[in-house]
Amino acid sequence: MEDKIRVLLPEDEVDARVEEIGKKISEDYAGQSVHLICVLKGGVFFTCELAKRITVPVSMDFMCVSSYGAGTQSSGVVRIIKDLDEPLAGKHVLIVEDIIDSGRTLSYLIEVLKQRGPADIRICTLLDKPSRRVKKEVQVDYTCFSIPDEFVVGYGLDYDQKYRNLPYIGVVEV
């Protein structure tokens, strides 16, 4: 049986907002370069679209960090599945997330990356669910959309590895 997907944010709205955030990042990093850390797997779609819209020099690396299994709720246990390939010393780091929910994963990731000596660390997310935040100290620098507490898919976000390729953000109605 197929899941029903309700469109929450249409493709054109997502594209326009990513363009705006790319311009803001370019202004904030003017005269510098920015090192994007894409949090896999969900963040890859957003990171690629965002990188195309940033006008300052960009380098990129990937990390896979998980606190989800096959369900729709965070397990609360964070695991690094794939670590970075390059050192961070002295770099202006921008962590790019698909979605920030409880903040546990991101809080853990920030602490790990701070120990690697970056010049600074900022956070950019496609989606934010502030009502679910457990880790209040997680400060997001760039947010495309704040959304209600619903399980969303598309634009890289999945439900049991399905629906990442949807060009919009949708809500799974099971």
Catalytic residues: 101
Could you give the 3-state DSSP secondary structure of residue 129? coil
**What are the tokens at 100?**
């920030």
Sign for the CA dihedral angle at 165, 166, 169, 170 comes to: negative
| Cβ proximity of 50 and 72 under 8 Å | no
E-assigned strand segments in the chain? 4-9, 34-40, 58-66, 79-82, 92-100, 120-128, 142-146, 152-153, 169-173
Closest CA to 98 of 145, 51, 29: 145
